[in-house]
Amino acid sequence: MLDETNKKYGFLLLILANMIWGGNFVIGRIGVDYFPPLLFSLLRWIIAFLLLTPFMVKQLKKDWNIIWHHKRILLLLAVTGVAGYNTIIYFALQYTTSINASVVNSTTPLFIAILAIFILREKLLARQAAGILLSVFGILYIISKGSIEMFLSWKINAGDLYVLAAVIMWASYSVIGKKYSDVLPMLTSFYASAFIGILLLAPLSFIEYLVMERSPVFTLPSAGILLYVGFLASVMAFLSWNFGVSLIGAAKAGIFLNLLPVFAIIFTLSFTEEKLYLYQIIGGGIVTLGVVISSKKSLRIKNHVQENKSSA
């Protein structure tokens, strides 16, 4: 009875995490109207870091020797997962829709599978290869809006390509984190990489201000946006996901990632003026089918989610 109750709580936590991350694409799309991308990402992680600090100081002292010994790895995690992924996503959302971004982002497991071949020496199975090719076709279908003429003339939204770059960043973060998951303590590594990410983003944000000469807009709505991305998307969703995974297991939890674009589409249609087009439905279906086919034989790769999922 207790196991069944734990599973129910686990399912609810996993659904909650993906609901928050799905909403993050919509909130992020609105947020870039108030803040430049680099500053937006910087403020997000400052809030997350400050909220975590009271609970992490003692644990950081306990894990300090391990953290310091692997400082180069933490730097890589900060560059790819904290500073890289989030900033590129916010930059991309200036040029593409929340729906496109969330669907393209759902290909993350496929890019992880590709990088795992080179970094983790994973074997590429036939079903994985088929799923990857199918999902690549789905991505191309979405970013070309289902038009062969648009694809051949390369009239493709740059924002969708930026999302792909962000996905590669996140896949790198996930594979690196998986490689060192037996060594690095999960929460402390997340906390430390967030701090390093802040140190990286601060000077870049200052340069952004000098170049763009764009000032942030601090209002009640923009404060709510920062609270969402800083607390809900960075801390609450991260903890919900990891506790959920611990209750039902990483292999079973992996399928819940497919809920992220679903929630993103629901929130987008409910709270913004974006519309859902046929090419997005078709392309999204192709991408999802590719992910499902690829994931059938790659449950080990999905373990990356347990150690690394901290933002979307």
Low-confidence ranges of the chain (pLDDT < 70): 1-4, 122, 124, 150-156, 249-255, 294-312
Tokens (6 digits) for 211 = 């170049």
pLDDT at 27: 92
Q: Are 138 and 284 in contact (CB under 8 A)?
A: yes
Nearest alpha-carbon partner for 40 in 270, 204, 257 = 204
Rg (CA), the chain: 19
Nearest alpha-carbon partner for 162 in 68, 86, 218 = 86
pLDDT at 306: 46
pTM reported for the whole predicted model: 0.81
pLDDT at 302: 45
d(CA 164, CA 147): 19
pLDDT at 122: 67
pLDDT at 303: 47
Three-state secondary-structure class, residue 32: coil
What's the burial of 17, exposed, middle or buried (CB within 10 Å: 0-12/13-18/19+)?
buried
Rounded to a whole number of angstroms, the distance between the first and last alpha carbons of the chain is 34
CA-based torsion, 205, 211, 217, 218: positive or negative: positive
Tell me the pLDDT tens digit for each residue of 8-48: 888 889 889 889 988 998 999 899 899 999 999 999 999 99
d(CA 55, CA 62): 13
